[in-house]
A = this chain, B = another copy of it.
Amino acid sequence: MCFKEEITKRAKEITEKIVLYLPKEEGYQRTIFSAMNYSIVVGGKRIRPMLMKAVYDMFGGTSDSIYPFMAAIEMIHTYSLVHDDLPAMDNDEYRRGNKTTHAKYGEAMGILAGDALLNYAYEVAIGAFDVDSDNKDSVIRALKVLTQKAGVYGMVGGQVVDVESEKSPESVITREKLDFIYRLKTGALIEASMVIGAVLANASEEDITMVEQIASKIGLAFQIQDDILDVVSTFEELGKPIGSDEKNNKETYVTFEGIEKSREDLKKLTDEAIDMLHSFGKDDKFLEQLFVYLVYRNK
Instruction: List the one stretch of A30-38, A51-59, A206-214 in contact with chain B.
Output: A30-38
Q: How long is the Cα–Cα vector from A148 to B125 in the complex, in angstroms?
A: 12
Chain B nearest CB: distance from A182 CB in Å? 12
Is the pair A112, B148 in contact by a Cβ cutoff of 8 Å?
Answer: no
**A116 CB contacts on chain B under 8 angstroms:** 151-152, 156-157, 160
Return A193 CB to nearest CB of chain B, in Å: 16
Residues of B within 8 A of A29 (CB): 152-153, 157, 160-161
Contact status A180-B112, CB under 8 Å: no
Interface string of A121-140 (1 = CB under 8 A from B): 01100100100000010001
Candidate in A36, A107, A112, A144 with the most chain B CB atoms within 10 angstroms: A112
Assess whether A172 is interfacial by the CB under 8 Å rule.
Answer: no
Proximity string of chain A (86-118) to chain B, C-beta cutoff 8 Å, 1 when within and 0 when not: 111100000000000000001111111011101
- From known contacts A32-B157, A112-B163, A126-B144, infer whether A152 and B86 are also in contact, taking CB-CB under 8 Å: no
**This chain: copies in complex:** 2
- Beta-carbon contact of B119 and A156 below 8 Å: yes
Asked if A143 meets B160 with Cβ closer than 8 Å, knowing A118-B118, A177-B28, the reply is no
Bound Cα distance A110, B83 (Å)? 11
Find the residue from A87, A152, A159 having the highest chain B CB count within 10 A: A152
Find A115's partner among B88, B114, B120 (CB 8 Å cutoff): B114
Q: Could you tell me the distance between the alpha carbons of A87 and B152 in the complex, rounded to whole angstroms?
A: 23
Does A273 lie at the interface of the complex (its beta carbon under 8 Å from any beta carbon of B)?
Answer: no
6 additional A-B pairs beyond A108-B167, A119-B150, A119-B151, beta carbons within 8 Å, are A23-B153, A31-B160, A32-B160, A118-B118, A119-B152, A129-B140
Complex A-B: 14 CB contacts under 8 Å: A29-B160, A31-B160, A87-B88, A88-B106, A88-B107, A88-B111, A106-B167, A109-B160, A114-B115, A115-B118, A115-B156, A122-B143, A123-B148, A136-B140
Chain A interfacial positions (CB closer than 8 Å to B)? 23, 28-29, 31-33, 36, 79, 83, 86-89, 106-112, 114-116, 118-120, 122-123, 126, 129, 136, 140, 143-144, 147-148, 150-153, 156-157, 159-161, 163-164, 167, 177, 180
